[in-house]
A and B are shown apart, each in its own frame.
With several copies, the nearest count.
Chain A
Amino acid sequence: MNVLVENALVVQNLAVNLGDFYLQDFNLEVANGEYYVILGPTGAGKTVLLESIAGLHPVEGGRILLAGENLSALPPERRGIGFVYQDYMLFPHLNVAQNIAFGLTLRGEPAAVIAERVAELAQLLGIAELLHRVPRTLSGGEQQRAALARALIVKPRLLLLDEPLSALDPETSLSLQRELARLHRELGTTTIHVTHDFEEAVALGDRIAVLNEGQLVQVGPPEEIFRRPATRFVARFVGARNIFAGELRHLDNGYSHLQLPAIDIAVLTELTGRVHASLRPEDIVLSEEPLHSSARNCFRGRIVEIAERGMHIAVTVSIPPAFTCVITRRSLEELGLHVGREIYLSFKASAVHIFGG
């Protein structure tokens, strides 16, 4: 089968039973070099899934193929799969250098080779100054960097990250998120990253798979997940938001413009480079004429969809890209909106939320 060769990891009909958690007929395919994000609510059994792939949990049925090789008979130490837990799991009795070196020490590599590789990875992850500290004196972000270095030093064929940013404060989480993206660009390691955080998934994933009750309910590029949620669960879990990816351009007068394929939007941020932007549907105002107001962004577009959502009406306007905004029923009537009509759409620069690339 072609799919087995092209894909780095193929999971077929996996069955795992672990008391209160139960996985049945589970299938998963991750392409070579892909950054694959599994997004699901807390307690959806994501940790058990990753541990099963790594051979750390007994599997009741199904096959796990890594680069075409069936892993079922292999113990975890022979699978070549790196694992990073949410709460770091650094060995508390070893210092940072010894932690990172652990995998190579086991192989009996010469001390000089180990020291060189450790220094190299510590450099790459920005923890070169911490090598002689013991884990408990490190901050959460530093510990997670050390855990990443420890996993990467043995050059795993597949890297499994179990909510690696969830235990960190927002700022550290964001900076480590950018680090993960950079590492993936530089090393190209096939990665499965599990998270419950939607912005993290968008910012990192080549593809996102949404997990619910032991099944992947939708798999696709981030854009697609948010634009066309396949089930009500996905829609509710990812929320109805406007998400865009673009390049930031700083202007002289202190503003930034986010360059989307067709338009530039004014935003307020101190970030630079490639980022994502989200905009709440409640923050968009529709009008017949362009507004002369404090709303910095005003575009003309065409209504492509009008849908009821409880007390609100969701109106999708394509400029392009498509923006979804919610308005009241009375506004719908007063403005005489219908699909196909052209309309002006305004939102304030301060209403655009910029997050990591």
Chain B
Amino acid sequence: MKSLLADKMCVTFVFLGALLFFFLAWPLFKTVTASSPALLWETLLEVEVRNAILRTFYASFLATAIAFFLGVPLAYMLARTEFPGQELVQGLIDLPIVVPHSAAGIALLMFFGRRMWLGRLFERVGIRFVSNFPGIVIALLFVSLSFLVNAAREGFEAVDPRLERVARTLGASPWQAFWRISFPLAWHSILSGLILMWARGLSEFGAVVILVYHPMVAPVLIYERFESFGLNYARPVAALLILICLAVFVLLRLTARKRGAG
């Protein structure tokens, strides 16, 4: 197709694209390379940094696990059935992408706050959300849920419903048809969704910083160090986090490619 992008147009487009490429690539590259590996290692050994990163991993993992139990059934219903208000539900799932995350944090605070109805209910069974670990999980769940639900829905949509129907005629209950046919066949999509949601959870800042400043997740730690001590102290933590996300992202791409090939 090279002949189609001849001469001037091709040169213009490549130039514009290259501008964008360097705009995206260079800051990330520079941040990662500005700190020496020794410094990065040292940073990783700091208790505060390590705890923040592990806390982020764990909170995102828990949010993803909750989303798996609640979101995969919803994704299946969105893919397989038609019900009134379906478009409303689908819209709501997508909404967290465009709602400002600081506003989302405020909204969650209104709901899970200690003086709120639900917050008090949970407090009675010993779960406190504000400025506490469960609050991080709730915030991550709220803002990154849509990634899993949409991936799982697309996965289920790609499974021919007639496969389930054949399974039914062979004696499978709806439940068996789901677990033995639809779920295994949509698994690669669901797995992609889980990884993407987890990665997205790692990077969340706006909603968490309002609901739970302390204990700190890694993105909040970066902000805290930057505000309190300046760029040079925030940079190694940022570099670490970018590297981790890069690794997760490559893993995600490989999963997606494997799904494409399988």
Q: Do chains A and B touch in the complex (CB under 8 A)?
A: yes
Contact B162 A85 (CB under 8 A): yes
Residues of chain B within 8 A of A102, CB atoms compared: 167, 170, 172, 180
**Interface 9-mer from A73-81, A113-121, A137-145, A320-328:** A73-81
- Tell whether B166 is near chain A: CB-to-CB under 8 Å: yes
Interface flag for B46 (CB, 8 Å): no
Q: Count chain B residues whose beta carbon lies closer than 8 angstroms to a beta carbon of A.
A: 22
Interface positions of B from 115 to 173, Cβ below 8 Å from A: 160, 162-163, 165-173
B176 on the interface (CB 8 Å rule)? yes
Counting contact residues on chain A (CB < 8 A from B), the size range is 20 to 34
> Which residues from B are CB-within-8-Å of A79?
169
Measured between alpha carbons, how far is A83 from B173 in the docked complex, in Å? 16
Which residues does chain B contribute within 8 Å of A103, judged by CB atoms? 170-171
Whether A89 pairs with B160 at a CB distance below 8 angstroms is yes
Q: Which residue of A lies closest to B184 (CB)?
A: A93
Which stretch of A52-60, A233-241, A252-260, A310-318 is in the interface? A52-60
In the complex, the answer to whether B6 meets A107 with C-beta atoms within 8 Å is no
Verify if B241 is at the interface (C-beta below 8 Å from A).
Answer: no
Interface of chain A, helix or strand or loop or mixed? loop
Closest A residue to B168 by CB, please name it: A76
B residues less than 8 Å from A106 (CB atoms): 170-172, 176, 180
Q: Please tell me if the beta carbons of B184 and A75 are within 8 angstroms of each other in the complex.
A: no
B3 interface neighbour in A58, A82, A107, A151, Cβ under 8 Å? A58
When A56-B3, A57-B3, A75-B6 are in contact, do A89 and B170 touch as well, CB less than 8 Å? no
B3 near A83: Cβ-Cβ < 8 Å: no
Check A154 for interface membership: any CB of B closer than 8 A: yes
Would you call A91 and B168 a contact (CB within 8 A)? Answer: no
**Complex Cα gap A89–B169 (Å):** 12
User: In the complex, A6→B169 CA distance in Å?
Assistant: 24
- Assembly CA distance A214 to B170 (angstroms): 27
> In the complex, are the beta carbons of B171 and A154 less than 8 A apart?
yes
State whether the Cβ of A150 lies closer than 8 Å to any Cβ in chain B.
Answer: yes
Q: Is B165 in contact with A56, judged by CB distance below 8 angstroms?
A: yes
Contact B162 A77 (CB under 8 A): no
Cα-based distance from A58 to B4 in the complex (angstroms): 10
B185 close to A83 (CB less than 8 A): no
- What residues of B have a CB within 8 angstroms of the CB of A58 in the complex? 2-3
Quick check: is A92 within 8 A (CB to CB) of the other chain? yes
B134 shortest CB reach to chain A, Å: 37
Which single member of B2, B168, B181 contacts A77 (CB below 8 Å)?
B168
Contacts of A57 in B (CB 8 A): 3
Contact between chains at A92 and B162 (CB < 8 Å): no
CB-CB under 8 A for A89 and B171, given A55-B3, A57-B3, A106-B176: no
Residues of A contacting B165 in the complex (Cβ-Cβ under 8 angstroms) = 51, 54, 56, 76, 83
Contact B170 A154 (CB under 8 A): yes
In angstroms, Cα B165 to Cα A309, docked, is 46
Cα distance, A75 to B170, chains bound together (Å) = 11
With A58-B2, A77-B173 given, is the CB distance from A89 to B163 under 8 Å? yes
B174 partner residues in chain A, CB cutoff 8 A:
75
Specify the chain B residue showing the minimal Cβ separation from A150. B170
Question: Chain B residues with Cβ under 8 A from A150's Cβ?
Answer: 166, 170
Q: How many whole Å from A214's CB to the nearest CB in chain B?
A: 21
What chain A residues lie within 8 Å of B176 (beta carbons)? Answer: 106
A contact residues around B166 at 8 Å (CB) = 83, 85, 89, 91, 150
Distance (Å) between the CB of A133 and the closest chain B CB? Answer: 16
Residues of A within 8 A of B168 (CB): 55-56, 75-77
Bound-state Cα–Cα, A70 to B173, Å: 20
What is the CB-to-nearest-CB distance from A39 to chain B, in angstroms, rounded to a whole number?
22
CA distance A93 to B182 in the complex (A): 10
Most buried by B among A51, A79, A106, A150: A106
Query: Hey, which chain A residues are within 8 Å of B184, CB to CB?
Result: 93
* Cα of A82 to Cα of B3 in the assembled complex, Å: 18
Greatest chain B CB density within 10 A among A82, A85, A91 is at A91
Q: Which of B160, B169, B173 contacts A82 (CB 8 A)?
A: B169
Q: Can you list 10 A-B contacts with CB-CB less than 8 angstroms, sorted by A residue number? A: A76-B165, A76-B169, A77-B169, A77-B171, A81-B169, A91-B166, A91-B185, A92-B185, A102-B170, A150-B170
Chain A interface residues toward B at CB < 8 A: 51, 54-58, 75-77, 79, 81-83, 85, 89, 91-93, 102-103, 106-107, 150-151, 154, 156
Interface residues of B (CB under 8 A from A): 2-4, 6, 160, 162-163, 165-174, 176, 180-181, 184-185
Closest 3 CB pairs of A and B: A103-B170, A76-B168, A83-B169
